[in-house]
């Protein structure tokens, strides 16, 4: 099968990555064992970086887009047959592997997760890497011992993709969730997802004492840098922080005091190369615990043709919730 189609390609131009629409063929795709016809993708923070010149792509040229939901067209692996609905999150898509921003993508069969019966392909991409990562964070906290009776849980970057899904999941499970956001206009939206209270983002991104007043039993942090350091200083004795992002920076100007004096645990959460058993468990739990009405409330659908207008907005923190991309529009 050989077909031409439009895709968002990242190529090296004058020593820098440059993203643009380009017409390519299925013959140009990598020689992986499953050909997928992509229906939907997403726009994540990492996608925004890749499309605005950030050095996310490390092997060029390649197609951008770190998430996909689609239908198997050809497969050399008998576990997947034409017509199967599948999703892929991470695995280096848009970094070292060709991604999802085009009608067709060739994937390795070991990357594929079968689309849960509970979700349409559009709903699966409304969750996407951000929502799947949020579930990994919630599971990490609960696996460590967190229960809904332990106290308040803080979610930073609350109006973003990870934050929105984390709030909805935690609230559905009965936790009292405090949302950290710098956008007061999102308070009604976050309340509708289940947030019980708010803290201004500015209170967390200012340097404070290495051991501040204890406030939260646990936190989901997608910001990093000074915000994560401040959150760690405010975690109650024996509490936990699940860290999964770097929207505020890659540094961590923290002290060892919370770890050695308050027995605080910092739980690193990676979604890109997470083993398959964790992925399947996360998607199973999402199907069980994520309310469909809240998922719909946090989601916008956009055509792929709008992608270059949307990318700088997500980097600037101007996107609320989740963005689903119709790759064929």
Q: Which residues contact 177 (CB under 8 A, 6 or more apart)?
A: 152, 153, 154, 155, 166, 167, 170, 171, 194, 195, 196
Q: Kindly report the number of other CB atoms within 10 A of residue 21's CB atom.
A: 14
Share of residues in the chain with pLDDT > 70 (%): 100
Task: Give the pLDDT band (50/70/90) at residue 148.
Answer: very high
Cβ contact 247:158 at 8 Å: no
Compute φ and ψ for 311, nearest 5 degrees. -55, -50
Residue 1: is its pLDDT beyond 80? Answer: no
CATH of the domain at 248: 3.40.50.720
Task: Give the pLDDT band (50/70/90) at residue 130.
Answer: very high
Bridge-based pairing state of the strands 34-42 and 67-75: antiparallel
Whether residue 106 is found in the same domain as residue 134 = no
- Note whether residue 293 is domain-resident: no
Rounded to whole angstroms, the Cα distance separating 215 from 229 reads: 14
Q: Which residues contact 184 (CB under 8 A, 6 or more apart)?
A: none
Rounded to whole angstroms, the Cα distance separating 264 from 292 reads: 34
Whether residue 171 is found in the same domain as residue 255 = yes
Average pLDDT of 30-56? 96
Bridge-based pairing state of the strands 235-243 and 265-268: parallel
- Note whether residue 273 is domain-resident: no
Residue 135: is its pLDDT beyond 80? Answer: yes
DSSP annotation of 97: B
Whether residue 76 is found in the same domain as residue 163 = no
Residue among 103, 138, 110 at smallest CA distance from 222: 138
- Note whether residue 281 is domain-resident: no
Whether residue 72 is found in the same domain as residue 96 = yes
171: containing domain: 129-268
Whether residue 197 is found in the same domain as residue 221 = yes
What are the structure tokens assigned to 323, written together? 């963005």
Whether residue 142 is found in the same domain as residue 246 = yes
pLDDT recorded at residue 290: 97
Q: What is the CA radius of gyration of the chain?
A: 20
- Note whether residue 276 is domain-resident: no
Whether residue 63 is found in the same domain as residue 86 = yes
Q: Which residues contact 131 (CB under 8 A, 6 or more apart)?
A: 161, 162, 165, 286, 290, 295, 322
Q: Kindly report the number of other CB atoms within 10 A of residue 60's CB atom.
A: 13
Whether residue 134 is found in the same domain as residue 111 = no
Taking the alpha carbons of 285, 286, 292, 293 in that order, is the dihedral positive or negative? Answer: positive
Query: What is the largest distance, in Å, between two alpha-carbon atoms of the chain?
Result: 63
Whether residue 255 is found in the same domain as residue 135 = yes
Whether residue 263 is found in the same domain as residue 140 = yes
Residue among 257, 265, 316 at smallest CA distance from 48: 316
pLDDT recorded at residue 6: 97
- Note whether residue 164 is domain-resident: yes
Residue 296: is its pLDDT beyond 90? Answer: yes
Cβ contact 218:175 at 8 Å: no
pLDDT tens digits, residue range 236-265?
A: 999 999 999 999 999 999 999 999 999 999
pLDDT tens digits, residue range 309-329?
A: 999 999 999 999 999 999 999
- Note whether residue 167 is domain-resident: yes
pLDDT mean across residues, the chain: 97
Share of residues in the chain with pLDDT > 90 (%): 98
pLDDT tens digits, residue range 57-69?
A: 999 999 999 999 9
Q: What pTM, to 2 d.p., does this model score?
A: 0.95
Number of domains in the chain: 2
Whether residue 97 is found in the same domain as residue 138 = no
pLDDT recorded at residue 2: 85
pLDDT tens digits, residue range 179-213?
A: 999 999 999 999 999 999 999 999 999 999 999 99
Whether residue 110 is found in the same domain as residue 175 = no
- Note whether residue 311 is domain-resident: yes
């Amino acid at each position: 099968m050989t077909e031409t189609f439009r895709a968002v390609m990242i190529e090296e131009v004058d020593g820098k990555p440059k993203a643009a629409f380009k017409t390519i063929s299925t013959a140009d795709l990598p020689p992986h064992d499953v050909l997928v016809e992509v229906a939907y993708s997403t726009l994540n923070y990492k996608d925004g970086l890749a499309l605005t010149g950030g050095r996310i792509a490390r092997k060029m040229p390649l197609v951008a887009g770190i998430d996909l939901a689609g239908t198997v067209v050809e497969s050399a692996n008998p576990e997947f047959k034409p017509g199967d609905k599948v999703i892929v999150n991470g695995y280096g898509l848009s970094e070292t592997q060709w991604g999802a921003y085009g009608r067709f993508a060739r994937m390795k069969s070991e990357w594929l997760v079968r689309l849960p019966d509970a979700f349409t392909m559009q709903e699966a991409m409304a969750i996407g890497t951000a929502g799947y990562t949020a579930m990994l964070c919630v599971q990490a906290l609960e696996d460590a011992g967190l229960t809904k009776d332990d106290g308040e849980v803080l979610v930073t970057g609350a109006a973003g993709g990870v934050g929105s899904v984390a709030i909805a999941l935690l609230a559905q499970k009965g936790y009292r969730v405090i949302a950290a956001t710098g956008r007061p206009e999102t308070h009604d939206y976050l309340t509708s997802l289940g947030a019980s209270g708010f803290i201004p983002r500015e209170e967390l991104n200012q340097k404070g004492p290495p051991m501040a007043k204890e406030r939260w039993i646990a936190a989901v942090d997608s910001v990093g840098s000074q915000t994560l350091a401040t959150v760690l200083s405010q975690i109650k004795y024996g509490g936990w922080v699940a860290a999964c992002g770097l929207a505020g920076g890659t540094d961590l100007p923290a002290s060892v005091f919370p770890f050695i004096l308050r027995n605080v645990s910092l739980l690193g959460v990676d979604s890109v190369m997470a083993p398959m058993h964790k992925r399947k468990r996360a998607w199973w739990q999402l199907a069980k615990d994520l309310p469909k009405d809240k998922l719909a409330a946090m989601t916008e659908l956009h055509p792929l043709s709008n992608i270059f207008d949307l990318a700088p907005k997500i980097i600037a923190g101007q996107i609320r919730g989740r963005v689903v991309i119709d790759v064929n529009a």
